[in-house]
Amino acid sequence: MADGRPALGADVDARPHLFGCTPADVVATLASAGFAADIDDARRLLARRLSGGLDTLPPGTSVRRTFRDAVATHFNDRDLSVAERVRDDADGFEKWLFEHPDGATSEAVRIPLQRPGRYTLCLSTQVGCAVGCTFCATGRLGLTRNLEAWEIVAAWRAVARDLAVRDPTARVTGIVFMGQGEPLMNLPNVLTAARVLSDPCGGRITASNITVSTVGLRRPLEAFVAKAHPYRLILSLHSAVPERRARLVPIAARQPVTALLPALREHQRQSGDRITLAWTLIGGENHGPDEVTALCDTFGDLPIRVNLIDLNRWDEGDGRRRATDAERIAFVQALHSAGIATQRRYSGGAGRHAACGMLASRRFTDLPGTAAPDPWPAA
């Protein structure tokens, strides 16, 4: 604590955090402390603190004073600090950089949708990332720690509160866990956050509008699918050619896509929708005929959709470039000819460091680091 901050990942308050709780969680925690809580009090309190974005309850609230005092005693309700905000005027993407109580930083990106006043929020699940995708700014940070569920929810709450002040009719209607980190490496906290964000007293976001992204970890993916969660799933593939994918996504050398197919097939059966594959288009690298052939050979009759994303440049010295319009169009035509559906996802915010990992990577070297364990146990 030489700089006055606890070590990264240290517990600064051992109490459970209110923002990581559903009403049932609040009641259960208070019951374990000997307080007989009423579920309606818990619903009303969380609806005001989370959905309403209030720091304190106003006079005359219908939540009993004894319950409010019990919550204040047994729960932490600290907010995250906003370290930086940048908005790209060219596309409306807005990046938030949060500082956590231990000095760690994480990002969230507010993404405007076609309908005015509606937004998707891209949330981080870890401080840094261990996957090391070579085209991603977050990949060079390394992994420091997982985010707690309340930290994930607190990022949403900060953005939602800001929207409510600017425009009371605006709201976040979708969540994508595609920011810093690998969500399946932090699955319990991600699922808890998703539960709170989809709760009527929490984020009030339709569960089917919450998306979990992964580069592909077999055992956590199997655990996710086994619970038949209502959330969407995206596999960050980027290449179907094994050797190329191993260069772009280093984990691929240890956990091949073929090992994920049974779980993906079961998820497709549950959802009834195509399996979505995130694909960052890199000029001259991952859009040739061999990729189409490899996709067909790997996924066979499993219905898939390739979600095409333009490369956001963050390292001018890496020799990579965005795919040209001609390269992208040729790839899309080849995919369609093979019966593979596509969707283009706009990659925004690069003009103001609002692409994933850009803000955090500018500040990360100023923070004390911690050694992370090997995140890839045997498959």
The two structure tokens encoding residue 364: 């990360």
CA 214 to each of CA 190, 211, 253, 257: distance values in angstroms, whole numbers, following the listed order: 12, 10, 15, 12
Specify the amino acid at residue 254.
R
Name the one residue in this structure whose structure tokens are 């729960």.
75
**356 in active site:** yes
Give the Cα-Cα-Cα angle 292, 183, 28 (nearest 5 degrees).
Answer: 145
Question: Phi then psi for 147, rounded to 5 degrees?
Answer: -85, 140
**107 in active site:** yes
DSSP H or E run through 219: helix 218-226
The two structure tokens encoding residue 378: 């045997």
Nearest partner of 229 among 201, 188, 200, 179, judged by Cα: 188
User: What is the β-pairing status of strands 232-236 and 275-281?
Assistant: parallel
Could you say which of 21, 122, 129, 356 is catalytic? 356
CA distance 114 to 129: 31
Could you say which of 94, 107, 148, 285 is catalytic? 107
Q: Which residues does 135 contact at the CB level (< 8 Å), separation at least 6?
A: 238, 248, 280, 282, 311, 318, 320
Helices (H) and strands (E) in the chain, counts: 11, 12
Name the one residue in this structure whose structure tokens are 């992964």.
214
Nearest partner of 195 among 156, 159, 145, judged by Cα: 156
CA distance 18 to 57: 14
What residues act catalytically? Answer: 107, 356
